Amino acid sequence: MATNRAAQTNDSFLDIERTFWDRLVYASRFLWRDQSAIIGLFLFLVVVVAAIFSPQLTPYDPLDQNLRNNKIPPAWSAEGSWDHPLGTDSLGRDILSRVIYGTRVSLTIGFFGVLMAGGIGLIMGTIAGYFGGRVDAVIMGAVNLILSLPYLLFVVFIAAILGRSLLNVVLIFGITDAPIFARVTRGEVLRIRESGYVESAISSGARWGRIIFDHILPNLIGPFLTLATFEMSAMIFYEASLGFLGLSVPPTVPSWGNMLASGRTYLTSAPWIATFPGLAIMFTSLGMNLLGDWLRDVLDPRLRRARK
């Protein structure tokens, strides 16, 4: 709305060079209108703050075992106490502290996993989409090869050869998730390549470098970022399944996946051990997905708001 009025009155805001900060402020106006986006942002911020300030927020060391205090239920039940608000697990470790520290593992895996998968996928998809022909066929062949890898076999293989560590989990996700980024990128590149402005750049004499970096990539950012948020939430999920298989980070490291795995045997006797990490995974994924939805809407309306 401000745009329309401004356009008619030659408002000076629009006529100055707008910085990234200006645009961020402008975009954040959309945030306030969208309740689910606010919830998403809130959840995400909670996770990020928990990850950054884990040592300050946790009452106990997450690795601290105290077998005399094991399997204490959460504070609101009869045998529980506010010493351990969410209870303790089978080795007497404080669940609240472990859940909070778990944010570090999840965010690290999510962020670096997406960075690697996204980076590989972006390069593969762009080259395949832009140059087409044989190059496209070869690259998409590689993509399909990765996709057809038996996922579990691959994971077990990596764990067996390289051992269990945070880095290896990131490696696994970085490779197995690259195809989806490659496919989406390639689709977008194909679409953008047919646009009038790309044709115009070619007719002005632009070479492939300028076309890719100046025209195609900037217009990819929208769908790419949206996909990245969704994949990040997915990776946090997958980490849980890896934990279940005993193939995630080493069992001492407090990851939500490991917590779920160790809590499985006590589902009936001490359900809180698995429940709270499960809830943490759920809310984190939810938050990211909501943010992803908002991002998709906000990065698109430039086209939506076009006037006749």
Partner 1 sequence: MNTQPVLEVKDLVTKFYTLEGVVHAVNGVSFDLEEGEALAIVGESGSGKSVTVMSILGLILSPPGKVEGGQAYFAGKYGQCDLLKLPPAELRNVRGGQIGFVFQDPISSLNPILTIGEQISETLVKHLGMSGEEAHKKTIELLEQVGIPDPKMRYRNYPHQFSGGMRQRVMIAIAIACNPAIIIADEPTTALDVTIQAQIVDLFQRLRNVIGVAVIWITHDLGVVAGLADRVLVMYGGRVAEIALVDDLYEHPQHPYTIGLLGALTRLDARESKRLVSIEGTPPDMLIPVTHCPFAPRCPYAFERCWQEIPPLIEVGKQHRTSCFYDLDKRRPRDG
Partner 2 sequence: MVKNKVLLRIENLRKYFPITRGLLGRPVGMVKAVDGISFDMKQGETLGLVGESGCGKSTTGRAILQLHKPTSGNVFFENTDLTKMSAEELRQLRPKMQMIFQDPYTSLNPRHSVGKIIGEPLVIHGVMSGQQLKDRVAQLLELVGMNPTFVHRYPHEFSGGQRQRIGIARAISLNPSFIVCDEPISSLDVSIQAQVVNLLQDLQEQLGLTYLFIAHDLSMVKHISHRIAVMYLGKIVEFTGRSALFDNPLHPYTQSLISAVPIPNPKVERKRHRIILEGEVPSPANPPRGCVFNTRCPLAIDTCSEAPPEYREVQPEHFVACHLVEAG
Counting contacts by CB under 8 A, is residue 5 touching partner 2? Answer: no
Tokens of 234: 């997915």
1 contact choice in partner 2, partner 1, none (CB below 5 to 8 Å, kind-dependent): partner 1
Cβ distance to partner 2 smaller for residue 62 or 223? 223
Q: Is 25 in the site for partner 2 (CB under 8 A)?
A: no
Taking CB under 8 A as the rule, which mask of x and - marks residues 5-44 in contact with partner 1? x--x------------------------x-----------
Binding mask 196-215 for partner 2 (x = CB under 8 A): xx-xxxxxxxxx--x---xx
By CB under 8 A, the count of residues binding partner 1 is 8
Interface with partner 2 (CB under 8 A), residue total: 31
134 binds partner 2 (CB under 8 A): no
Amino acid at 43: L
Pick 200 or 252: Cβ nearer partner 2: 200
Q: How many CB atoms lie within 10 A of CB 61?
A: 14
How far apart (Å, rounded) are the C-alpha atoms in residues 248 and 260? 12
Residue number with CB closer to partner 2 (264 or 305)? 305
Piece in contact with partner 2 (CB under 8 A), picked from 100-108, 110-118, 189-197, 290-298:
189-197
Q: How many residues does the chain have?
A: 308
- Rounded distance between C-alpha atoms, residue 120 and residue 182, angstroms: 8
Residue 218 interacts, among partner 1, partner 2, none and using kind-specific CB cut-offs from 5 to 8 Å, with: partner 2
Phi-psi region of 205 (alpha: psi -120 to 50; beta: other; left: phi over 0): left
For position 296 contacting partner 2 by CB under 8 A, the verdict is: no
- Please report whether residue 305 would count as binding partner 2 according to CB under 8 A: yes
Question: Quick one: 21 or 76, whose CB is closer to partner 2?
Answer: 21
Least separation, in Å, of the C-beta of 187 and partner 2? 17
Residue whose CB is less far from partner 2, 75 or 142: 142
Residues that bind partner 2 (CB under 8 A): 3, 7, 10, 14-18, 195-197, 199-207, 210, 214-215, 218-219, 302-303, 305-308
Binding site for partner 1 (CB under 8 A): 1, 4-5, 8, 33, 305, 307-308
